[in-house]
Chain A
Amino acid sequence: MSLSAVWISLQLASVTVLVLLVIGTPLAWWLANSRSRWRVPVDALVALPLVLPSTVLGFYMLILLGPAGPIGRFWVAATGETLTFSFTGLVITSVLYSLPFVVQPIRDAFAAVGRGPMEAAASLGARPIDAFFSIACPQSARGFLTAAVLGFAHTLGEFGAVLMVGGSIPGETRVVAIAIYEHVEMLEYGAAHTLSAGLLLFSFVVLVAVYTVNRARHPVLLR
């Protein structure tokens, strides 16, 4: 039971981070560069999962993704399956839940690159998309790494929302945080300790790695 939960968590975290890098990068670019009056409200929306309890997200996702919900209805019509209690539903939930952890570091990295290099590239004849991939992205590598690692670690630690949307189905939606909760409730403190200590150690190592990389790349700024 525990091993399959660890495996599901790793899969969920990997897929979530991939999806978030794909949709989070353009969003982060827009947030870093836009002068639109929508920028501030969108920034706030992205940050919402930081302050909301995950039960709020889980509660609304259960309604949105349910077979009668606005998103879930389309999914049922298209695939014949329900989104709730499925791995896909967990991915959608986790993408929202971990959104700020991926978007914000990339946004800040893009902002740090600034307009200067991009305008220089443009004056040398580079199209905006070329400048984006050959100037902005490499210069923001540190932000991307931080985003990927934090998004991954945060998804591993997810509990309330996945529990509500996933329904704890073994081999499908029972992630490691839920397995730990069940072990504690069943008074299996040994198994709970093993999983908890593993998660604790992993998260610590991940954060040490992120901070080390951030220091090495920015010796003057952060020391």
Chain B
Amino acid sequence: MLPLRSGLRAFALAVLLILTTGVSHADPVRVAVAANFLSPVEAIASAFEAAGGEPVEIVSGATGQHYAQIINGAPFDVFLAADQARPARLLEKGLAIEGSVFTYAQGRLVLWAGEGHQLPDNGFAGLVDHPVTRLAIANPRLAPYGRAARDALQATGQWQALQPRVVEGLSVGRALHYLATGNVSHALVAASYTYASGRPGGAWVAVDPSWHEPIRQDAVRLVNAPNPAGARAFMTFLKSAEAQSILQGFGYRAAGEVTEP
């Protein structure tokens, strides 16, 4: 009995030691980020660290999931949402810091034609008269890019005719996946994917942003942040010219370009 017990004690001690040594390092800044913004935030995080900032830990996922996790006590410092609604909700609930909300990026939409398919001659507005077998968009009820895609189709009077051929992906990434696997001929997705290294083939054309509500992505600092100082430093860096030029390199419009309506 005794050897077993002392063995257990040694094991518990070892576990405790491993756990505490993990904690004794500098606290990272933990950033929950919308999946569409993962690549730019990785680049921004390395620039932040290179400029002397604390290490950044990135948790990528769906904004709705992050929201539910934050409500239930997830230890995030900064929340980079895919929309404006979820940060606003967190403010209402007193879980986000008043005055910390700002639009960190504005998304753009492109019409993508898969390999072996053509773009309409006159761009997005000519889609309805064009051979489209299926058109993939993100789920308009869940994803800001999906709502923008539907708005743009409605604004150009193409929604009614195209709707039977519209396929919804859970996220904008899934919509593009349908195109990459040849299951749809065309897709309306985030312009940032045209900058991705693993992007599928085909051709794309920008969709005029005046045809949909701006796709504003808001950032917010969280009340229950384990590392409030790190959160503040990261948010300041996110607003800097350096970070904004990085995200422009990924197909987003910088916060400075955003003009209030």
Contact = CB atoms under 8 A, between A and B. Distances in A.
B169 to A, nearest CB: 7
B139 interface: yes
B182 A164 contact: no
A184 B67 CA distance: 10
Contacts of B167: 85, 167, 169
B54 interface: no
Contacts of A168: 139, 168, 170
- Chain A interface main SS type: loop
Contact of A186 (B133, B136, B142): B142
Interface string B145-179: 00000000000000000000001111000100110
B89 interface: yes
B64 interface: yes
Contacts of A84: 178, 183
A182 interface: yes
B134 interface: yes
Interface in A52-69: 62-63, 66-69
B181 A66 contact: yes
B174 A186 contact: no
A163 interface: yes
Contacts of B182: 66-69
B134 to A, nearest CB: 7
A66 B170 CA distance: 18
Contacts of B178: 62, 84, 167
Interface string A179-206: 0011011110000000000000000000
Nearest to B166: A169
B142 A82 contact: no
Given A168-B139, A169-B167, A187-B89, A63 B134 contact: no
A168 B136 CA distance: 11
B207 to A, nearest CB: 21
Contact of B134 (A62, A85, A163): A85
Nearest to B115: A68
Nearest to B169: A167
A191 B170 CA distance: 19
Interface in B171-215: 174, 177-178, 181-183
A182 B133 CA distance: 26
Interface of B: 62, 64-65, 67-68, 89, 133-134, 136, 139, 141-142, 167-170, 174, 177-178, 181-183
What 7 pairs between A and B have smallest CB-CB spacing?
A185-B64, A68-B182, A167-B167, A66-B183, A185-B142, A84-B183, A168-B168
14 contacts: A62-B178, A62-B181, A66-B181, A66-B182, A67-B133, A67-B182, A82-B134, A167-B168, A167-B178, A168-B170, A182-B142, A185-B65, A185-B142, A186-B142
